[in-house]
Amino acid sequence: MYNTFFKNLFRKKDITAILHEAETTNGGLRRTLTASGLVALGIGAIIGTGIFVITGQAAAQYAGPALTVSFVISAVGCVFAALCYAEFAAMIPVAGSVYSYSYATMGEFLAWFIGWDLILEYLFACSTVAVGWSGYMQSLLHEWGIDLPYNLARPALEHANGTWALTGSIVNFPAVCIVAIITALLLCGIRQSAWVNSVIVIIKISVILLFVGFGLSYIDTSNWVPYIPENTGEFGHFGWSGIMRGAAVVFFAYLGFDALSTTAQETRNPQRDMPRGILISLIVCALLYVAVTAVLTGMVKYDRLNVDAPIALAIDNAGAGLAWMSPFIKLGAIAGISSVILVMMMGQSRIYYAVSKDGLLPRLFSEVSAKHGVPHNATVFAGIATGVIAGVFPLSVLSELVSIGTLLAFAIVCISVMVLRKTHPELKRPFRVPFVWVIPSLGAFFCLLQMVSLPWATWLRLILWTLAGIVIYFAYGRRNSYLGRKKQ
């Protein structure tokens, strides 16, 4: 009895059957994305709050001008995980990302655990970015002489010194509003969503290049001295330990490329285009981050950059010569953050879709609109859940949950690549991770090391989320699993 119980927990989906289903029925989803569309989605998911907020704060608190080195180190760590994602996405081009890969390599219970973790990542990532979008939009509206009432401008809850308290606000209305708009757009179809994302990406990259191009003339090289500020005596505050701490902090800025793998089933040629989309978008964003950080710390002394809008501060510091750029910077930030919400919500709905198709969530989430070719119920649910969380919870708590959920998912992908190389060496791999026992190991180690550095309160929330997922699996998923029914 006990042997059967544990055997059922680790029952695996047949990879050949998964690939056959994707090639024949495709679950009702439409293959419309090209390599260029994937690159645009990747840039849309990555370039957002990281470049417009985190750059200044990490330079001021941890690494100084040497934050450029931090971004390079962090990018290398992300590349390890990205290579593993690329191998999986090309080999198993189906919706569901790490969840689907884990179901084929580690079994049903661990796949559910990863799927539940991915829901945490995408749900709270969408909510985090929506709250950030609200801040920039309210700042822009204030410049235009429009101020929202207090009870519609902030989250309903705040968290300080380990305690929760009511803010007196009803809801963060702008955050809820942008989530509703993005949900409506996603319901129109993947082609339309990708087109809008591409337009937004062009806008935000143009704004970033404007800042870098014009900002070069306002660089004061004395601001780069010392390039690596002397350590204060505390680990992580400047010096080389500060560079490493900065790398861990700016890791958040690279999150998003993994969302591409959730659209594999909607890509025309996933075996070829998925690896290209993931790796090219990550490299382009790394170059943009380094360029912006170099110009930013050259225009303003690093110790003045601990603000919510460091790029706007640099523009203001330049004086009348760049004053005309201020509204463009804020519009670029708003556009950039909007595209992050779009891609993350798309990924979130595809996770619901994939898990539902296996029977571990209610079947309604896997229903696909005949007209638009999107999982409409999953998309609507993602919008409602994201809107509620974004309207109620503060930014600080949300961002920490995103980081720990994503790092865990990255570590599992790296481990799964090595497992599958051992258990299924015969599978066709259009893209192969080089030095397979080295790169995935380094990727997993890098992610787990950063998880350890996160505060205990964040770990506690992850544990509570995991316990809730375990309850749902045994109360619903295990009994309704399609794989379990087939084997009865």
- pLDDT tens digits along 443-478: 888 888 777 767 777 788 888 888 999 999 999 988
Q: What are the structural domains of the chain? A: 35-133+190-361+395-486 (1.20.1740.10)
Mean pLDDT of the 118-127 span: 82
What 3-state DSSP class applies to 270? helix
Angle between helix 98-105 and helix 108-143 axes, rounded to 10 deg: 170
Token output for 140:
């822009």
Task: Give percent of the chain with pLDDT exceeding 90.
Answer: 8
The whole-angstrom separation of Cα 399 and Cα 478 is 31
- pLDDT at 385 (0 to 100): 92
Residue 257: name the closest of 488, 479, 42, 38 by CA.
42
More confidently predicted of 196 and 230: 230
In the DSSP assignment, the letter for residue 144 is T
What number of CA atoms fall less than 13 Å from residue 88's CA on the CB side? 33
Alpha-carbon span 331 to 334, nearest angstrom: 5
Q: What is the mean predicted confidence (pLDDT) over 347-353? A: 86
**Reduced 3-state DSSP string for 160-201:** ECCEEEECCCCCCHHHHHHHHHHHHHHCCCHHHHHHHHHHHH
Q: What is the mean pLDDT of residues 217-244?
A: 85
Please give the model's pTM, rounded to 2 decimal places. 0.78
Averaged pLDDT score across all residues of the chain: 80
Per-residue CA distances from 420 to 112, 115, 185 (Å) = 18, 18, 37
- Give per-residue pLDDT as tens, 298-320: 998 988 887 767 887 888 888 78
Whole-number Å distance between alpha carbons of 203 and 191: 19
Owner of token pair 């006990």: 2
**How far apart, in whole angstroms, are the C-alpha atoms of residue 154 and residue 142?**
15
Residue 179: predicted pLDDT: 92
| Closest by CA position to 95, among listed 306, 373, 355 | 355
Q: How far apart are CA 48 and CA 44, in angstroms?
A: 8
Helix, strand, coil in percent for the chain, rounding step 5 = 75, 0, 20
Q: What is the pLDDT of residue 294?
A: 92
Of 469, 466, 488, 486, the C-alpha closest to 477 is 469
Q: How far apart are the first and last CA of the chain?
A: 14
- CA 240, CA 228: separation in Å to the nearest integer? 8
